[in-house]
């Protein structure tokens, strides 16, 4: 009987640990209606999963839900913010080109990505003709 009780306790602990691991893997879901660049890589329009390293917050992963293309990014804390009503992605916009720039989450995290060499070149050639940043609300979690 003691063996059965011990096994039940171990099983419950394993299930609890597994569940907490899943919570750490929550992915934000965003529907991005345009092609965009990140780290010099062009990503097609579509549904994306955004995962943030919950321990340090420095790593961001953008994964295309349909095609599976992934970009792994190092981000930095832009500023301490108050929790907001919505999570969102921000894209810098030059002519017909979009570049992933920021992640804002409802827990107050505001992460930025350093512009790529390609973005700097496009920005320089655009001169003063820069459109305002484009914001995409996070559609939910997965």
Domain count, the chain: 1
In a domain, 73, yes or no: yes
d(CA 136, CA 61): 16
Mean per-residue pLDDT of the chain: 78
Span 27-39, pLDDT tens digits: 899 999 999 999 8
In a domain, 7, yes or no: no
In a domain, 19, yes or no: no
In a domain, 17, yes or no: no
Contact of 90 with 98, CB cutoff 8 Å: no
In a domain, 126, yes or no: yes
In a domain, 52, yes or no: yes
In a domain, 113, yes or no: yes
Contact of 113 with 100, CB cutoff 8 Å: yes
Residue 19 is predicted with a pLDDT of 32
Let me know the angle formed at the C-alpha of 96 by 105 and 87, rounded to the nearest 5 degrees: 10
Q: Distance of CA 91 to CAs 8, 56, 104, Å?
A: 50, 23, 12
Span 64-114, pLDDT tens digits: 998 878 888 888 777 656 667 789 999 999 989 999 999 988 877 788 999
In a domain, 89, yes or no: yes
Structural domain including 132 reads: 27-141
Enter the pTM of the model: 0.76
């Amino acid at each position: 009987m003691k063996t059965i009780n011990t096994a039940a306790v171990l099983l419950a602990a394993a299930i609890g640990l597994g569940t907490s691991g899943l919570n750490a893997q929550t992915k934000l879901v965003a529907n991005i209606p345009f092609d965009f660049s990140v780290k010099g890589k062009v990503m097609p329009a579509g549904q994306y999963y955004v995962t943030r390293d919950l321990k340090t917050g420095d790593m961001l992963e953008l994964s295309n839900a349909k095609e599976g293309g992934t970009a792994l990014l190092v981000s930095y804390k832009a500023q301490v913010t108050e929790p907001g009503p919505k999570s969102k992605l921000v894209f810098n916009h030059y002519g017909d080109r979009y570049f992933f720039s920021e992640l804002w989450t409802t827990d107050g995290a505001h992460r930025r990505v350093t512009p790529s060499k390609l973005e700097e070149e496009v920005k320089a050639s655009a001169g003063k003709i820069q459109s305002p940043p484009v914001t995409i609300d996070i559609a939910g979690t997965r």
